[in-house]
């Protein structure tokens, strides 16, 4: 199983970063590999979102996301070509008003998906994803 935990410091308040993280439908505008993000339903603090990404091949999957404003978002796979796709964002306010964001993800691919897809998600895509969220949040909500 491929998994990682990475941290990034972002010069916006946690509640502003939370807004960026939970605006799923905007992901294609700032995440290079994201082709589509469609909110299927939203009930209380839970959203069901279908994502289509272009990794080594086009992959479509649906996540159930639990939002605990303004400090956490977690998810688990509902359907898609993975055996496991779970993760979370944990947001902590820093003394300067910025945010320490801890991002965790664990991915296990189904037998018919090349292992290179999960390796790329975890090894190469996560650092780029965090840089993209940082740039997006700071461009919208800079301190």
Peptide bond into 70 cis (omega under 30): yes
Instruction: Return the ∠ at Cα 138 (arms to 55 and 126), rounded to 5°.
Output: 25
Please give the share of the chain, as a percent, with pLDDT higher than 70: 88
* Ranges of the chain whose pLDDT falls below 50: 1
Domain boundaries 2-141, corresponding CATH code: 3.30.530.20
**0.85 exceeded by the pTM?**
yes
89: Cβ–Cβ under 8 A, 6 or more apart, which residues?
Answer: 21, 72, 73, 74, 101, 102, 103
Would you state the pLDDT for residue 117?
A: 60
Would you state the pLDDT for residue 1?
A: 46
């Amino acid at each position: 199983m491929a998994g990682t935990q990475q941290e990034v410091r972002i010069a916006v308040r946690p509640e502003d970063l939370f807004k960026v993280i939970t605006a799923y439908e905007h992901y294609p505008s700032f995440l290079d590999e994201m082709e589509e993000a469609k909110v299927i339903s939203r009930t209380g603090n839970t959203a069901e979102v279908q994502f289509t990404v272009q990794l080594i091949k086009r992959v479509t999957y649906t996540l159930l996301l639990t939002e605990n404003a303004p400090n956490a978002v977690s998810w688990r796979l509902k359907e898609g070509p993975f055996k496991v796709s779970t993760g979370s964002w944990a947001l902590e306010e820093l003394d300067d008003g910025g945010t320490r964001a801890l991002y965790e993800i664990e991915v296990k691919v189904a037998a018919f998906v090349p292992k290179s897809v999960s390796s790329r998600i975890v090894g190469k895509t996560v650092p780029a994803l965090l840089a993209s969220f940082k740039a997006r949040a700071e461009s919208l909500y800079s301190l």
